[in-house]
């Protein structure tokens, strides 16, 4: 799956490298381009989040009103979402899209020879054999991660000892030159194929910067999380504290640090740059999409839907649920409808003697509901409706 996603991202990264001729700058430019492409979704997410914040007091009022009736609460919530034109899942879409991008980035970072240098599989396979020979020479061992990400190790060995790969020049004349000229270092000293560790072989500038990449990733994400919490509290001061959600928000920075220490530095560097751009974007959007502005936009959307007579997503969902219930009523010979009518009549009998109806009238009313449900079902699926009146 990562290779499938990595192929198109690899071409984008290759284009970025042709422009910058530096792997670190390619990641920065790639991150910026993806943020620009996803900006419309981010705007929609911010708009939805701000609308939800303004909408929250109404939701809390319903929760208090129907605290002892969960079914009624769900019905009223759906109705309120429909009336307000709010989709509660809209703010999650950019997050769902960003995870596949991150997944594809893993493949791009793992295979720089394939995606950035455009070296064929045959050349990579032969270089892999030579690299294994270098590792096992004089009783050495092949690194544990070599099978998973051989291209990173091949690049290191070619740049360290190009003469060991000279035999490939006959079949692949440009292989050694491409790999040795590959600019894969941050600030010219940090190999983005290296994995950060708190126990480096030597404490030098490269080791320090390498460790700072995961730390910076966590700090930037934590800063963005705190900022978003503060802004959301200002927008909706009466909102209840959501401990589970808050825990998840603070867990993500720690998770990013763990990921950045577990995988090559290119992954952590991308995550850090993505977080920085997201932080800047959030500051801009929070200043633009104030509660007052979002309220005006929501009202405009309502007026547009009324003019076009076009239902929103929640209204379509509610309509679909009603149709399914009608089908179930028709398919079950009206058992549910009968119960509902019986309950209604029973309630009416208890409430007022003037609304009592005879058993025959009740039966006739039930038949009418069943016939109507069957007729709608037949129309939907293009079947012929036969009113046999047998029930």
- Do the beta carbons of residue 57 and residue 300 sit within 8 Å? no
* Per-residue pLDDT, 117: 93
Which has more pLDDT, 10 or 345? Answer: 10
Provide the domain limits for residue 374.
312-381
Q: 296 with 316, same domain?
A: no
pLDDT of residue 113: 93
Distance CA 263, CA 281 (A): 27
CB 239 within 8 A of CB 53: yes
Selected residue with higher pLDDT from 252 and 330: 252
Decide if 16 is inside a domain: no
Are residues 238 and 90 part of one domain? yes
Across residues 342-350, what is the average pLDDT? 45
What confidence category does residue 187 fall into, taking pLDDT thresholds of 50, 70 and 90? confident
What whole-number distance in Å separates Cα of residue 382 and Cα of residue 284? 52
| Within a domain: 113 | no
Q: Which residue has the higher pLDDT, 364 or 271?
A: 271
Where among 262, 277, 302 does a domain terminate?
Answer: 302
Out of 228-232, 334-338, 372-376, pick the least confident: 334-338
For 7-16, write each residue's pLDDT tens digit: 898 999 999 9
What average pLDDT score do residues 255-284 get? 88
Higher pLDDT, 206 or 335: 206
CA gap 140, 133 in Å, rounded: 9
Look up the pTM and report it: 0.66
Mean pLDDT of 295-304: 71
- Shared-domain flag, residues 212 and 298: yes
pLDDT computed for residue 343 by the predictor? 47
Is the CB of residue 158 less than 8 Å from the CB of residue 176? yes
| pLDDT: which is higher, 188 or 96 | 188
Please give the tally of structural domains in the chain: 2
Tokens of 343: 């309950």
Q: What is the pLDDT of residue 21?
A: 92
Question: Burial letters for 187-197: b for 16+ Cβ neighbours within 10 Å, e otherwise?
Answer: eeebbbbbbbe
5 inside domain:
no
pLDDT for 320 equals 60
């Amino acid at each position: 799956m990562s290779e499938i996603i990595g192929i198109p991202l690899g071409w984008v990264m290759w284009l970025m490298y042709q422009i910058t001729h530096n792997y670190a700058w390619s990641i920065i430019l790639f991150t910026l381009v993806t943020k620009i492409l996803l900006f419309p979704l981010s705007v929609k997410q911010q708009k939805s989040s701000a609308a939800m914040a303004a909408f929250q007091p109404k939701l809390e009022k319903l929760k208090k009103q129907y605290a002892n009736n969960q079914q009624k609460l769900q019905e009223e919530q759906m109705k309120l979402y429909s009336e307000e034109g709010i989709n509660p899942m809209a703010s999650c879409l950019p997050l769902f899209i960003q995870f596949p991008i991150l997944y594809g980035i893993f493949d791009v970072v793992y295979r720089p020879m394939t995606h950035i240098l455009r070296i064929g599989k045959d050349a990579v396979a032969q270089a892999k054999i030579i690299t294994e020979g270098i590792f096992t020479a004089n009783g050495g061992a092949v690194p544990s991660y070599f099978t998973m990400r051989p291209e990173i190790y091949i690049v290191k060995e070619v740049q360290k000892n190009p003469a060991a790969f000279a035999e490939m020049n006959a079949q692949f004349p440009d292989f050694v030159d491409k790999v040795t000229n590959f600019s894969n270092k941050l600030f010219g000293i940090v190999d983005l194929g290296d994995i950060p560790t708190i126990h480096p072989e030597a404490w030098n500038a490269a080791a320090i910067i390498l460790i700072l990449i995961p730390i910076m990733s966590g700090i930037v994400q934590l800063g963005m999380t705190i900022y978003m919490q503060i802004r959301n509290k200002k927008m909706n001061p009466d909102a209840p504290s959501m401990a589970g959600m808050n825990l998840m928000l603070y867990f993500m920075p720690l998770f990013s640090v763990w990921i950045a220490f577990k995988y090559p530095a290119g992954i952590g560097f991308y995550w850090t740059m993505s977080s920085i751009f997201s932080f800047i974007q959030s500051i801009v959007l929070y200043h633009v999409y104030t509660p007052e502005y979002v309220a005006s936009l929501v009202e405009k959307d309502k007026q547009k839907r009324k003019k076009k007579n076009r239902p929103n997503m929640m209204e379509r969902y509610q309509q679909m649920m009603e149709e399914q219930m009608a089908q179930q009523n028709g398919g079950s010979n009206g058992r549910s409808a009968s119960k509902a009518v019986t309950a209604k009549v029973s309630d009416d009998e208890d409430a007022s003697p003037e609304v009592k109806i005879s058993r025959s009238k009740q039966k006739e009313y039930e038949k009418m509901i069943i016939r109507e449900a069957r007729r709608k079902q037949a129309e939907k699926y293009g079947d012929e409706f036969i009113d046999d009146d047998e029930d």
